[in-house]
Structure formats: C-alpha cells, structure tokens
Amino acid sequence: MPIELQSQDNCQTKLKLSGVSKRYGEVDALVDANLLVRKGECVTLLGPSGSGKTTLLNIVAGLLPLDEGDVWIEDKLSTHLPPYERDIGMVFQNYALFPHMSVYENIAFPLRMRRKGKADIRKRVLNALATVSLADKAERMPAELSGGQQQRIALARALVYEPSIILMDEPLAALDKKLREQLQLEVRRVQRQLGVTMLHVTHDQQEALLLSDRICLMNDGHIEQVGTPNDLYFRPRTHFAADFIGESNIFAADVLGLSGRGVVLRGPGGCRLRAETDLPLSPGETVKAMIRPERLRLQAIDQVQGENQIVARVAEKIFLGEATKYYVSVAPDHTFVCKTLTSSQASVCAPGERVSLAVDAESIIILLDSASGAP
C-alpha cells in the first residue's frame, strides 16, 4: 500500500527565504532572494547555468552558509542549523545510493538512523516501494537496476521518513530523453498523490512546466519572476523571461496612444497593433513586446481586415509532424515565427507567398527590461 501522509493545509508555509544573499569574493552568486513555498507545493528553481539556483538549493539544505538573510523551515528559524536538523530529504542527480546495500536497506537507512522500530521500518519501506511502483525490487542491488529505477529508489528513500521538504537537484538530468519524460510523469504523480512539498532545480524548461505548481525563474543571481507555469509562459514580465521560456517573437515598438489598459503600438514594418497592459507607458516611448508563435494566425492576404493584422511574406516553412512552423518576413530586417497545427489547409502557404498574421490584443505582452527595470 502506498505511503499516506496527513492531510495538507495548502495555505501553510513550509519554506520562507528572506533577503538571502551569497557572495564569492567580488562575485554575487545570489542577491536578496525572497521566496515562499507552501505546504504540498512543488516549486521549481529554473534558470541557465550560473543563475544561482543550485546555490539557493544548497543554502536551504544547509550545505552552504549564506552571507545575508534568513531561512525558515516550518516556522522555525533554520539559517544556521546543520543539515541533519532541518528535516529535509534530498534527491541528487547521481542517485547517491549505497552500492553495497540492497534496495530495501538503502530505503531503510534513514529510518535506522532515526532509530525506528523494525516493524515500522518494514511497513514504511514496503509502502515507499509501492509508491514508486517498485515493490518487487526490494532485494535487488542498485547495480542490477536501470538508471530510471535507481532514481525512483532515491526518491523512495527521500519520501520514507516523511521530511518537511524534499529538495531535488536536477535528479533527471543524467537520463536519456524518453526515460527522463517517463520519470517526470512519475515524480509528478507521486508528488500530487502524497501532497509532498518539493523544491526542485532544473535548467529544462519542459520539465519545469510539467512538474511545477509554481516556477521561480532565476537570472544572474536574482529572482526574475515567480508564478505558475501558465503565468511565466503567457504573461512573462521581462525580456529575459519571455526569451528563456518557450519560443517567442520579441520586437521593438513605438507607443502611439493610450486608452485605459489599451495601448496602440507601431511595430515592425509600420504595422499598427493594439495591446493591453498595466505598465505605465507614455506616447512616444519605445518598448519591447512579445507574441508567442502559436498566438499568430496565418491568413491569406485577401483576408486582411481591422486592426492587429501584420502583412508579411513567407520566408521558410518547416514541417514538424503535428505542427508546421513558418518563418515570415514582416520587415526587411525582422522575421516572425508562426506555428500552426498541421492540416491539409496549412500546405497552402508556401515560401515567397504574401500572407497576413492576425493576433489578439491580449496576446501581445509589453515587457520590462529587467525584473526591477522600466519598459
């Protein structure tokens, strides 16, 4: 029978980082990081190499001292507590299983260290194995398992003593693409089923979008944006967020007029676009804007009518199976990417053909230069 945890109060804060900073000499590895992780939530630290995500995770784990700020775990000030007093579990990229111990003994190890009774240990270990769908592998040695099975054992070992938070440091990075995708679904299932609180590090956008309740996007030691996967994909706040997550058309546009939340822009090739934004803008200023490729509707040139129509010419067409990608020239020095579901109708647009790109006002996002900057 799988592990059962007590019912979760989703409003309870499991982890709080307040003004956390870390420096190495003159280099700021982490600057004024503030983050809340709620009970039962999976939060992913996402960003390129050197963005500070692993530094932040190691500070939470107690493996790295911080220079400023505080770490709270379960309403307990944990800034200077050693790792073994923080009630956390860790899952590493390299599994970190004991090669001389059976699967059963590997999972039982943290329980034995906590001096649990033999019957309790057996019950918990078998429950943990059932949770990760490996109940028949208890007597195997780690070397007899595949990489994916070893990683599931490492997850079971982290789950078995019911820590307050499980920290995952790129646990699937060493696996091949197909196996990685299978394990992503497995981790997601276990996390949702048990209501486990997880803080997860990855540089893989798809993994972050699939696993996370919220994503903490990091850039150059700073937290760039925190939000749901939907927020970060469809409503990125900054140029970096829009460019890092997914594919995007980012372009400069001049503000022509304002009306409430509505703003009229002059984009590439002189096209007029109506967008919506809550940012304070002024007529005459130049801003950066973004449109996702799938939000552009490719139409025949004779269908142009009304606003938010961009006249363009197809430069290249790429068949991707379920989708077709078009590179379309909207100005002599500017190309947009448009992605459509493949159909018999999609084959009508060929390279060299003049077309129209239509877009809704809410799909045009005005961006900030940085998390603390101006448009």
- Phi/psi of residue 91, each to 5°? -125, 120
CATH homologous superfamily for 13-234?
P-loop containing nucleotide triphosphate hydrolases (3.40.50.300)
- The per-residue pLDDT for 162 is 87
Cβ-based neighbours of 310, under 8 Å, separated by 6 or more: 267, 268, 269, 271, 273, 330, 336, 356, 357, 358, 359
In tens digits, the chain (375 residues) has pLDDT values of: 344 433 344 458 999 999 999 999 999 999 999 999 999 999 999 999 999 999 999 999 999 999 999 999 998 999 999 998 999 998 888 878 899 999 999 999 989 988 899 999 999 999 989 988 898 999 999 999 988 889 889 889 988 888 999 999 988 887 888 888 888 888 898 899 889 999 999 999 999 999 999 999 999 999 999 999 999 999 999 999 999 999 999 999 999 999 888 999 999 988 899 999 999 999 999 999 999 999 999 888 876 666 788 889 999 999 888 889 999 999 888 999 999 888 755 456 788 889 989 999 999 999 987 665 555
- The per-residue pLDDT for 348 is 61
Q: Is 197 helix (H, G, I), strand (E, B) or coil?
A: coil
What are the beta bridge partners of residue 249?
291
Helix axes 147-159, 103-113, angle to 10 degrees: 20
Q: E strand or H helix at 333, and its extent?
A: none
Q: Is 103 exposed, middle or buried (0-12, 13-18, 19+ CB in 10 A)?
A: buried
Cβ-based neighbours of 142, under 8 Å, separated by 6 or more: 95, 97, 98, 99, 101, 103, 106, 150, 153
Give the tens place of pLDDT for each residue, 5-20. 333 444 589 999 999 9
pTM reported for the whole predicted model: 0.87
Strands 13-24 and 27-38 come out as: antiparallel
Compute the Cα dihedral for 259, 262, 266, 272 and give only its sign: negative
| Cα gap 225→228, rounded to integer Å | 10
- The per-residue pLDDT for 175 is 81
| Cα gap 311→307, rounded to integer Å | 11
Per domain, the residue ranges of the chain are 13-234, 241-367
The CATH topology of domain 241-367 is: OB fold (Dihydrolipoamide Acetyltransferase, E2P) (2.40.50)
- The per-residue pLDDT for 304 is 61
- Phi/psi of residue 168, each to 5°? -125, 115
- Tokens, residue 193: 């089923």
| Cα gap 279→293, rounded to integer Å | 23
| Cα gap 90→79, rounded to integer Å | 18
Alpha helices in the chain (DSSP H): 53-61, 103-113, 118-131, 147-159, 177-194, 205-211, 229-234, 239-244
- The per-residue pLDDT for 249 is 96
- The per-residue pLDDT for 303 is 63
What are the beta bridge partners of residue 46?
202, 217
Asked if 218 and 45 count as a contact pair (C-beta separation under 8 A), the reply is: yes
- The per-residue pLDDT for 106 is 93
| Cα gap 169→94, rounded to integer Å | 10
- The per-residue pLDDT for 9 is 43
Contacts 24+ apart (CB under 8 A), 173-180: 173/93, 173/202, 173/204, 174/93, 174/94, 174/147, 175/147, 175/148, 175/151, 179/146, 179/147, 179/148, 180/207
- The per-residue pLDDT for 341 is 86
| Cα gap 132→15, rounded to integer Å | 25
Contacts 24+ apart (CB under 8 A), 182-186: 182/148, 183/148, 183/151, 183/152, 184/210, 184/211, 185/210, 186/132, 186/133, 186/152
| Cα gap 3→59, rounded to integer Å | 29
Angle among Cα 172, 174, 180 to the nearest 5 degrees reads 45
- Look at phi and psi of residue 131 and say left if phi exceeds 0, alpha if psi is from -120 to 50, else beta: alpha
Q: Do 241-367 and 13-234 have the same topology in CATH?
A: no
- The per-residue pLDDT for 131 is 87
